[in-house]
Chains A and B, each alone.
Chain A
Amino acid sequence: MAKSIDVSDLNIYYGDFLAVEGVNMTIRAKAVTAFIGPSGCGKSTFLRTLNRMHEVIPGARVEGKVVVSGQSLYDSSVDPVAVRRQIGMVFQRPNPFPTMSIYDNVIAGSKLNSKRLKKADADAIVEKSLRGANLWTEVKDRLSKPGMGLSGGQQQRLCIARAIAVEPDVLLMDEPCSALDPISTAAIEDLIQELKSEYTIVIVTHNMQQAARVSDDTGFFNLKATGEPGHLVEFNPTTKMFTNPDEESTEAYISGRFG
């Protein structure tokens, strides 16, 4: 089930270094939320705190709250592994498991979650996920071939299929199209539009047109100054953001006057 995310007063640290400061936002369920901003402003870092992937880096920690449908992710009783099972993630560069077939890649997460998986159930999950990622017709005849044999765009859709195979509540995407050509990018963007009927989607992008095309809400991150922590400048519906933003610096960034 798609869920909404409430973030309040979130500070993100690497050791003593405050990377992102004071983020407040509500990410709506079954909608696409995009984060834009210049490089190094902390938008990817923030995205990674939403499924606790942030803390795989030694010394990384957060203060503040991230609440997904009433459950605080950073409660001491919450297992980060369980969080990541509910909040899937797609990365900047396609990263299918190199030694696995297409089939095994899709089923990898489900195998972790339930050790005993009937062949028929596994087949059903693979087909459903690949269809969900608009990849089924392209690969259905070569499921046993390695995932690395696909094109970059297909690999990225394979990674999306792998992420949705475990039926997460939320799907995080960290610049999912930055390593892809325009046609593959268009395929992923179409896919995002379809996925939002079932999932809450959060996407980081460097491409403002992409944010304008795919998202319902947009957050603009920026640095106050070099060396200062990143922060959320503005968070608004995408249409408002791209026509009549509240902040002058948002307007400046979107119209290309800096960044």
Chain B
Amino acid sequence: MSALLLTMQALLSHWRRHRVQGLSIITGLWLATALWTGVQALNSQARNDYARASAVVAGPAHAQLVAPGAQRFDQALYLQLRQLGWAVSPVVEGRLRFAAEQPLSVRLIGIEPLSLPPATNIAGIAAQDFDLQAFIGTPGQAWVGPDTLQQLGVKPGEQAVTSDGQVLPTLVLTPQLAPGIVIVDIGHAQALLHAEGQLSRLLLTDDSKPLPDAIAARLERQPGEDDTGLQRLTESFHLNLSALGLLAFVVGLFIAHAAIGLALEQRRGLIRTLRACGISLGTALSGLALELGVFALLGGLLGVATGYLLAAALLPDFAASLRGLYGASVAGHLTLSAEWWLIGVAVSVLGALLAGASSVLRAARLPLLALAQPQAWRLAQGPWLRRQAWLAGLLLLLALACYLWGNSLPTAFTLLAALLLASALLLPSVLDALLGGLARRCREPLTQWFVADSRQQLPAVSLALMALLLALAASVGVGSMTEGFRRTFTGWLDQRLAADLYVTPRDTAQALQVRDWLATQSAISTLLPSWRVELTLQGWPVQVQGIIDDPGYRSRWPLLELRAQAWEQLAGGTAVMLSEQLARRLGVQLGDRLQVLPAPAPGMTVVGLYADYGNPKGHVLVNADWLRRQRADAALSGISVNLPAEGIAPLKHELQARFALDDSRVVEQSTLKRWSTDVFSRTFAATAALNSLTLGVAGIALFISLLSLGQQRLGQLAPLWALGVRRGQLAWLSLGQTLMLSSLTVLLAIPLGVLLAWCLVAVVNVQAFGWRLPLYLFPRQLLQLALLGVLTSLLASAWPLWQLARRQPAELLRQFADET
């Protein structure tokens, strides 16, 4: 039998007697991989869907022509280019709304199949394979993906009806089409979007020729990808989720690391014997590495499978929040590639390497004559604690540097990670110092033992306590941030949504009719029409809203900063107000000049900044008359109405009947608030779930550490029993020790969590979303989390202590007896 095989046989025999320990390594790797791959599955699904959505039209068209500000333009420009011999193909785009419990909005893309470049694919279907007659003719075809079909609640071959009562062409299932997209012939699309004679862009095959001057003045060349900015807008959302997943991964690795370390400590004698018997160091290390590989593979396979299930469970909330926040459509089911599964297992192997590397290195440096002794372990821990403290100090400096000089999301996350890691590394030193201080005050023998023994247990349980610290701090931080956001958001909604009824007409023509009719209604106290233009400013999508001068805005618009006479200047058309996030993105402050619309429109002074939570796009407030003068295409997008409560329902019915507007176009304030808070709740549902799971993982880490310690601790407890301390009393004392360690950890986790909350609201949110929230602390929530932390450790220690209390004297006797 080869040396390696013999080594493996000897090493693996350990697990027959230490099954819990083996299970804990697998559990650690399993949970770490599950939470990480689960999050990555969600992100990967979303990114795939964005990519599919942006690559609906794939082929040799490398560039496109669009109007400045991404407005629609006259179809005549297309005809001019064709007459000049340019190979361009027109596309019109817009959104269609469908009545559902919550309004469903899909992206309608109209294409012109005859002019598409020859090798173009539309959702995987080659242009030459089109059934042109069916696609172009009447009623035509509307291609949809399976998810959209399901959301619409219709079957292939049927025709869907929009909330305006327009009938779509016959639906055709196109499996490769991204969710939330409908493709029709351009003629049908122009009719459905009320955009007759208008186009959104022109696909361009030949990117080398300069545009004719007459065209270049009205259209600009852009890269070919159909980038709706979704990747950019949702980047922060996915990064936040990844950060949580990473935290859970790290917490999971703590379990594996603790168990691998303990297994090595227990096998120091075995390794020493193996080497004394002639097994080379290389063979022993190979054996350990192989063993680690087996664990990694088992944990990885289990983890990836669980990650898939976790992602599938979280996907509905995840998709709903992406839809609600960004209008991004994500499939309702997971379709993950084989690559994802392989990466999942690779992550587990990497995790195992990270968790086990230090143990294998320690085994490599193990002096042959070294004996495993608990107190020696603790004393040897001294230099480790010092090194950890140094590293923690360096990490704190890094965190400080990120705070002072960082101005991006990665530096914000580095700040968070450095802070958390530094705190975790400092925890054993802090606990050791606290217990040391306590030990000096103890006089009673059992109290003395209680503290001294707790201190001796520290090296074995410190990793689990670090995991508990991280998980609790994350819970406190994320919980405070979420609750703070909820409070701020609710207050902000109350301010911002002050009108009783919100009307969103189909188009400007109808809006003007609605406005004129509403103006004749005597019950209405305030009528606020709102004009809108969508454009891009320095690459960011921006909504420019034109408002009339009304005292209501002065009293309720949620301004964060404003200059003197701000509203008067806005009304005069010489100033603008910006949402906080847009101001940050553009780097402008009060008093700066901003060119909102392209020249020749004049630049204007920024006189106010306001909160605009939940809006991924930038928002600009200008005077309505000024906007209409500058942009003839500004749309009358919405009308807000105030009237006595008893008049709301009759007016709504009258509006719906008179102008054929459905429920999604005439919305009462309470409904709008409910929709907004629903989006909010769902956005944080995945966060809350991951948070709870992370805390659960920390609980499991503690449980496994205590269980692994259980057997070891007999040697420490038996002498006390022999000296007259009862078994029950020993169990209570052990429980007290666990509670003391976890309570101290909880006490340290709370200020750390508050600091984390501050980092989230004042640093990460600012970098991720552009808005800063006030920091709220919720003592009741902190108390609940503290109790939860203690309860978690209580539950974690329950089983090991139950076992201890039930130990038969014979088991304790074995600690003394060399013979019968």
A, B in one complex: no
Residues of B within 8 A of A (CB): none
